[in-house]
Amino acid sequence: MVTNLDASIFPVLRLPATTADPRRGSKKSPNQLLFDRILCDVPCSGDGTLRKNIGIWKRWQPMDGNGLHSLQTRILQRAMRMLEPDGRIVYSTCSLNPVENEAVIAAALNSNPDFQLIDVSAQLPELIRRPGISSWAPTVNRTINTTFKTWDAYNDTLTEEQRADSKMSETHWPPINAKSLQLHHCMRIYPSSGYGWILRCCARKKAAEKKRDAEEAEITVPEAEKVKLDLGGLPEPQASVSVPPTPVSEDDGSRPLMLDTVEADAQAVTETKKTIFKGKPKLSDPSFKEMPYTFLEPDDPTLISCIDQLNLTASFPSSNILVRNPAGDAVRSFYLTNDLVKAVVLNNDYPRMRLMTSGTKVITKQEAGRGLEAQFRVLGEGLPVVLPYIDPSVILDAEFATLKTLLVTYYPLLWFLQ
């Protein structure tokens, strides 16, 4: 599945109540889908790529990292809320600036004590790296001629108006407990090592979750950063998604994706009834124009014809075939998903999670002449998925000479292959 969303407000993905998946959420959101591995390759100033990216020399300025710090922290905190116990998060940037690296990691760890950095120095021993740092002084202006040791020292120099306009926050500075956070477990890989610059850290969520005062905190996201969707007829969100660089709440009901009618009717989900979308969804974001995802019934005539033509066995998961059109017509291409992806698609609203791609395109239909039955063929990218379900008796062994003939000859005749 591929989505196109601001990662700092990535929506909650729901599973039906009947799905026995170990990654199901707990506590206040028992139906939430949690992930065991998350990579946060966050937007950054990119100053670690100066050696190969000449354009950065022209536009770089010292305040770039300060402006990105808040977004980077929210993305990492959002990932923390979507990770299952004992799961792992990798945070990475291509920036040298500690404000975009260790400062973000420290802020996220202090907001969520269920996480800890883990030592991965024993892995890839030949990789030239340096440990993370626990002390830094962020720049506060473009001239880089003024620094302050602490946030309080900097804040005391500002007027009320300047404080309202400042991009700086307390988390830009090293926290008091910087050393106890074990920031040295971060990896700094400098361009001089021959790999290009990158900072990475690996955090693990403790298996035993602890109750925190921050769970009840009310938090908001700036209005400009909220996704604006007008989904007429759909239930209103229960609350706004929010993951600021302050302690976060575990209540992930902020952006419920599962429709009330679907949640209440588990039987309809189990029977995988075809969902019919009438008309186009009303979106205030005109950039999202993806077609809906509709699962075919296993007894769909076109699907049965496809299975017969391709000699697919009875074990072929025909109930996991979807198409990309509102009416659920088998127009051209068939996509195959697994059970978990199907549960996510059926129990969540695809415009809200801005679902761009789901499943693997495995089969395409080619219309024949008038009065002739349409023909189906397996696509190259779908062959590894479909091959286990093809009747072995119809698979022919061939030599490389035959493959060459098929590749270099236009419309090869049968006698070419003899």
Q: How far apart are CA 418 and CA 407, in angstroms?
A: 16
The pLDDT confidence band at residue 396, using thresholds 50, 70 and 90, is: confident
What tokens does 269 get? 């989900």
**Burial classification of residue 100, based on how many CB atoms lie within 10 Å of its CB (0-12 exposed, 13-18 middle, 19 or more buried):** buried
Mean pLDDT of the chain: 78
- Better-scored residue on pLDDT, 215 or 49: 49
Q: Are 317 and 341 in contact (CB under 8 A)?
A: no
Residue with tokens 């696509």: 379
- Better-scored residue on pLDDT, 276 or 311: 311
Q: How far apart are CA 288 and CA 230, in angstroms?
A: 12
Residue with tokens 């004992």: 86
Whether residue 291 is predicted with pLDDT greater than 60 in this model: the reply is yes
Backbone φ and ψ for 395, nearest 5 degrees, come out as -90, 125
Whether residue 43 is predicted with pLDDT greater than 90 in this model: the reply is yes
Whether residue 138 is predicted with pLDDT greater than 80 in this model: the reply is yes
According to the model, what pLDDT value does residue 22 have?
56
**pLDDT tens-digit map of 160-176:** 888 888 889 999 999 99
Q: Please state the rounded mean pLDDT for residues 32-52.
A: 91
According to the model, what pLDDT value does residue 165 have?
85
Longest Cα pair distance anywhere in the chain, in angstroms? Answer: 88
According to the model, what pLDDT value does residue 238 have?
39
| pTM for this predicted structure | 0.74
Q: Closest Cα to residue 320, out of 306, 301, 341?
A: 341
Residue with tokens 């929210």: 74
In percent, how much of the chain has pLDDT > 70?
74
According to the model, what pLDDT value does residue 29 have?
64
Who contacts 325 (Cβ-Cβ below 8 Å, separation ≥6)? 291, 292, 294, 331
Q: Are 36 and 207 in contact (CB under 8 A)?
A: no
According to the model, what pLDDT value does residue 24 have?
57
Three-state SS sequence of the chain: CEECCCHHHCCCCECCCCCCCCCECCCCCCCEECEEEEEEECCCCCHHHCCCCCHHHHHCCCCHHHHHHHHHHHHHHHHHHCEEEEEEEEEEECCCCHHHCHHHHHHHHHHCCCEEECCCCCCCCCCCCEECCCCCCCECCCCCCCECCCHHHHHCCCCHHHHHHCCCCHHHCCCCCCHHHCHHHCEEECHHHCCCCEEEEEEEECCCCCCCHHHHCCCCCCHHHCCCCCCCCCCCCCCCCCCCCCCCCCCCCCCCCCCHHHHHCHHHHHCCCCCCCCCCCCCCCCCCCCCCCEECCCCCHHHHHHHHHCCECCCCCHHHEEECCCCCCCCCEEEECCHHHHHHHHHCCCCCCCEEECCEEEEEEECCCCCCCCEEEECHHHHHHHHHHECHHHCCCCCHHHHHHHHHCCCCCHHHHC
The pLDDT confidence band at residue 418, using thresholds 50, 70 and 90, is: low
- Better-scored residue on pLDDT, 240 or 43: 43
| Out of 236-240, 316-320, 329-333, 345-349, least confident range | 236-240
- Better-scored residue on pLDDT, 43 or 203: 43
Q: Closest Cα to residue 45, out of 184, 249, 197?
A: 197
Whether residue 82 is predicted with pLDDT greater than 90 in this model: the reply is yes
Q: Closest Cα to residue 183, out of 80, 122, 102?
A: 102
**pLDDT tens-digit map of 186-223:** 999 887 766 655 667 777 777 654 333 333 333 344 44
Q: How far apart are CA 108 and CA 131, in angstroms?
A: 19
- Better-scored residue on pLDDT, 412 or 216: 412
Q: Please state the rounded mean pLDDT for residues 318-324.
A: 92
According to the model, what pLDDT value does residue 285 have?
60
The pLDDT confidence band at residue 60, using thresholds 50, 70 and 90, is: confident
| Out of 7-21, 220-234, 304-318, 362-376, least confident range | 220-234
**pLDDT tens-digit map of 336-387:** 999 999 999 999 988 888 888 899 999 998 877 776 777 899 999 999 999 9
According to the model, what pLDDT value does residue 399 have?
85
**pLDDT tens-digit map of 227-285:** 333 333 333 433 333 333 334 334 443 333 333 333 333 333 344 344 444 444 444 46
Establish how many alpha carbons lie within 13 A of residue 300's alpha carbon, considering only the half-sphere containing its beta carbon.
Answer: 23
